[in-house]
């Protein structure tokens, strides 16, 4: 599960066996997590509260290019 980025306590990462799914990133904050689709950017599922979901989306949007680049490198897209 390669970590892409750590921001404000949030860890963004990929799960290596998820490469057959559309591009997405997993996000952890403590013991809670979420999955965010990249095209378009939206929450797939989440254990976060609304404030944390909003922050998650802000972080993903701000780092969209890096996440997409790392996805393509990791999954050889």
Q: What is the pLDDT of residues 10-66, one digit of tens each?
A: 999 999 888 789 999 999 999 999 999 999 999 999 999 999 999 999 999 999 999
Residue 23's pLDDT is what?
A: 95
Residue 2's pLDDT is what?
A: 87
Q: What sign has the CA pseudo-torsion 38, 43, 46, 51?
A: positive
Yes or no: say if 10 and 59 are a contact pair by the CB < 8 Å rule: yes
Q: What is the pTM of this model?
A: 0.93
Residue 17's pLDDT is what?
A: 81
Number of domains in the chain: 1
* Cβ partners under 8 Å of residue 64, min gap 6: 38, 41
Tokens found for residue 73: 């490198």
Residue 1's pLDDT is what?
A: 75
**Domain limits at 11?**
3-75
């Amino acid at each position: 599960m390669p970590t892409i980025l750590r921001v404000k306590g949030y860890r963004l990462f990929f799960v290596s066996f998820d490469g057959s799914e559309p591009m997405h990133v997993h996000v952890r904050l403590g013991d809670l997590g979420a999955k965010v689709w990249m095209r378009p950017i939206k929450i797939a599922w989440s254990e976060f509260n609304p404030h944390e979901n909003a922050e998650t989306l802000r972080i993903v949007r701000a780092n969209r290019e890096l996440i997409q680049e790392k996805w393509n490198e990791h999954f050889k897209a």
